[in-house]
């Protein structure tokens, strides 16, 4: 696609009230897209709406929680009532919760992270992909994961697990939707200057916990706030997203300096395969079928 193709089309961006979501909203709006920002943070949502309108962008703001399926149905209805067909969904809302050692990360923290970072993405696709397929116009599903999803991050098990799941889901959906009108991408940034390290501001009361954060949580939080403060600007990320969409990329990376981390993981996996291929136990499996398809 060319960025001109976006003119007049409609994008729904979750977590669009701040940070990466708001920057993407502004960038896509300036390219002529109608913008729906959907967010749990009511005050930030109102000021994001007026800041986008200052750029003459057509914008609808929807107060919603991505972890609630019924909120997605309402968002879709409101978006279509205002703008008609929706052509792009950016599943961007996310929380950095779920920080801590194996022993200290409690159930409520896990559940919060899974419901927002993973189920939010699942519900979004459930609601909007059938709509995109049925109108048949060129469409995009962009899931925001993280570099954390490309390899394990210590003391951040829940965040890492949900982001790795978003990468895997995107790979699965990209194959499922191949040849359709819906292009699927996963955005996996490293650090970007936003308020992601202050995600607790949006922890819904239903995920409240009595467990007090331990010293290790504070250490991780301190280190990640510093890294976020030194991160790239969200507007640079947004420009990169447009460039990657124009090239039809599945994986959208913004931090080429992290390649060695991913290379190391790929190398470790490849070495482990080599060792399994040398195992006398597995000789017969070598020539067997892969994923149910015969190997040539
Ligand atoms: N900033 C980084 O360094 C970084 C790095 C990698 C990935 N990411 C990912 O980028 C995405 C955007 O984060 P950000 O950095 O802009 O952080 P941010 O905290 O500035 O913005 C996140 C937005 O999501 C909204 N949100 C949170 N919970 C929600 C819910 N339940 N329903 C609806 N909206 C909700 C927040 O209100 C906020 O507007 C997240 O998925 C995050 O994991 C960020």
Q: Determine the distance separating the centroid of ligand 1 and the alpha carbon of 294, expressed in angstroms.
A: 42
Confidence (pLDDT) at 38: 98
At 170, list the tokens.
């995107």
* pLDDT < 50: residue spans in the chain: none
Q: Compute how many other C-beta atoms are within 10 angstroms of the C-beta atom of residue 146.
A: 26
Verify whether ligand 1 is closer than 6 Å to residue 40 (CB atom).
yes
Q: Determine the distance separating the centroid of ligand 1 and the alpha carbon of 74, expressed in angstroms.
A: 21
Q: Report which ligand 1 atom has the smallest distance to the Cα of 44.
A: 39
Q: Compute how many other C-beta atoms are within 10 angstroms of the C-beta atom of residue 285.
A: 11
> In whole angstroms, how far apart are CA 287 and each of 159, 172, 295?
37, 25, 8
Q: Quick one: which of 173, 94, 183, 175 has its CA closest to 141?
A: 183
Verify whether ligand 1 is closer than 6 Å to residue 237 (CB atom).
no
Residue 208 and residue 200: Cα distance in Å, rounded? 10
**φ/ψ bin of 177: left (φ > 0), alpha (ψ from -120 to 50), beta (otherwise):** alpha
Confidence (pLDDT) at 287: 75
Confidence (pLDDT) at 247: 98
What domains does the chain contain, in order, with CATH numbers?
A: 3-254 (3.40.50.720), 258-296 (no CATH)
pLDDT tens digits, 152-179: 888 889 999 999 999 999 999 999 999 9
Residues in the chain: 296
What is the dihedral angle through the alpha carbons of 125, 255, 39, 80, rounded to the nearest 10 degrees?
A: -40
Verify whether ligand 1 is closer than 6 Å to residue 57 (CB atom).
no
Confidence (pLDDT) at 294: 52
Catalytic residue from among 159, 200, 251, 258: 159
Paired sense of beta strands 251-253 and 139-144, if any? unpaired
Confidence (pLDDT) at 293: 55
Q: Determine the distance separating the centroid of ligand 1 and the alpha carbon of 93, expressed in angstroms.
A: 5
Q: Quick one: which of 70, 72, 63 has its CA closest to 128?
A: 72
Contacts of 73 (CB under 8 A, 6+ apart): 127
Q: Is residue 125 within 8 Å of 140, Cβ to Cβ? A: no
Q: Report which ligand 1 atom has the smallest distance to the Cα of 195.
A: 20
Q: Determine the distance separating the centroid of ligand 1 and the alpha carbon of 94, expressed in angstroms.
A: 4
Q: Is residue 69 within 8 Å of 123, Cβ to Cβ? A: yes
Residue whose tokens read 């995107």: 170
251 is catalytic: no
What is the residue-wise DSSP string for the chain?
Answer: --GGGGTT-EEEEETTTSHHHHHHHHHHHHTT-EEEEEES-HHHHHHHHHHHHTTT--EEEEE--TT-HHHHHHHHHHHHHHHSS--EEEE--------B-TTT--HHHHHHHIIIIIIHHHHHHHHHHHHHHHH-S-EEEEEE--GGGGS--TTBHHHHHHHHHHHHHHHHHHHHTTTSSEEEEEEE-S-BSSSGGGGGGG--GGG---PPPPHHHHHHHHHHHHHHHTSB-HHHHHHHHHHHHHTT-SEEES-GGGHHHHHHHHHHHHHHHHHHHH-GGGHHHHTS-BTTB---
Q: Is residue 129 within 8 Å of 177, Cβ to Cβ? A: yes
Which residue's CA is minimally distant from atom 8 of ligand 1?
146
């Amino acid at each position: 696609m060319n960025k001109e193709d976006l003119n007049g089309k409609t994008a729904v961006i979750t977590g669009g009230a701040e940070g990466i979501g708001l920057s993407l909203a502004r960038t896509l709006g300036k390219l002529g897209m109608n913008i729906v920002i959907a967010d749990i943070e009511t005050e930030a949502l109102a000021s994001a709406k007026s800041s986008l309108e200052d750029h003459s962008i057509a914008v609808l703001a929807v107060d919603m929680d991505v972890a609630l399926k019924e909120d997605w149905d309402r968002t879709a209805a409101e978006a279509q009532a205002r703008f008609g067909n929706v052509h792009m969904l950016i599943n961007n809302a996310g929380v950095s919760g779920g920080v801590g050692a194996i022993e200290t990360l409690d159930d409520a923290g896990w559940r919060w992270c899974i419901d927002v970072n993973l189920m939010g993405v699942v519900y979004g696709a459930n609601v909007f992909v059938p709509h995109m397929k049925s109108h048949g116009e060129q469409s995009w599903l962009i899931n925001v994961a993280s570099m954390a999803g490309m390899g394990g991050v210590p003391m951040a098990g829940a965040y890492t697990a949900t982001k790795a799941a978003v990468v895997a889901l995107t790979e699965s959906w990209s194959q499922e939707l191949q040849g359709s009108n819906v292009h699927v991408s996963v955005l996996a940034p490293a650090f970007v200057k936003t308020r992601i390290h202050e995600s607790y501001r949006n922890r819904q009361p239903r995920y409240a916990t009595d467990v007090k954060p331990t010293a290790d949580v504070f250490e991780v939080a301190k280190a990640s706030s510093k890294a976020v403060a030194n991160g790239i600007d969200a507007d640079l990320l947004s420009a990169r997203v447009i460039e990657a969409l124009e090239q039809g990329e599945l994986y959208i990376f913004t931090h080429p300096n992290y390649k060695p981390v991913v290379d190391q993981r790929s190398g470790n996996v490849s070495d482990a395969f080599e060792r399994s291929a040398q195992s006398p136990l597995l000789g017969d499996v070598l020539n067997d079928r892969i994923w149910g398809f015969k190997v040539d």
